[in-house]
Amino acid sequence: MSVDTVVARPVTAENFARYGKVYDLAGDADPGVVRTKGDGWLDGFTRAPLIDGSGHLGMTRGGSAPWSCTAMERHPQTEEAIFCAAGPVVLAVAPASSTDAPHRDEIEAFIVAPGQAVVMHRNVWHDACRGTSRPTPYYWMAICGLGESPWVPVAGGPRLVQVIDGPVA
């Protein structure tokens, strides 16, 4: 695989820890999720509020992988949660930093599956999500109206983000 390419891998609490939190609302083992059930239904909700403030709910209609990650944004005053609407999405991120732009060599990509939610820490650089194989909408939650959230070019040039069919190591 070329250094110009990053391959998305399924998100887990462990591999995403430097960027934020992962909740598995569809599974049965996440200690951060409270489970309830009734006659014919099973429910799961986050034990703590999803983000650290009264967030706004938004929806982005993303394209599909592969794509060239050319620009990213970050939010210094809010966490941002991402969760699927119709199918899995790919989230490209770079570590939070005090630099003016993320660097292409630090970009990682994660597949967020339906039933999962990821919450990025403040200042984590990120691109808009894309579907794994087709254009796919997704929901996000963040506090809006905190000033500009500029998109800046990725330092060092663009990086191709792709998904490989089958299990990704």
Element (H, E) at 139: strand 136-142
| 158 part of a folded domain | yes
How many distinct structural domains can be found in the chain?
1
| 169 part of a folded domain | no
Question: pLDDT by residue (tens digit) across 9-52?
Answer: 999 999 999 999 999 999 889 999 999 999 999 999 999 999 99
DSSP H helix total and E strand total for the chain: 0, 17
Verdict on whether the full-model pTM lies above 0.85: yes
| 39 part of a folded domain | yes
Contact 24, 30 (CB under 8 A): yes
Domain that holds residue 134: 5-162
CATH value at residue 100: 2.60.120.480
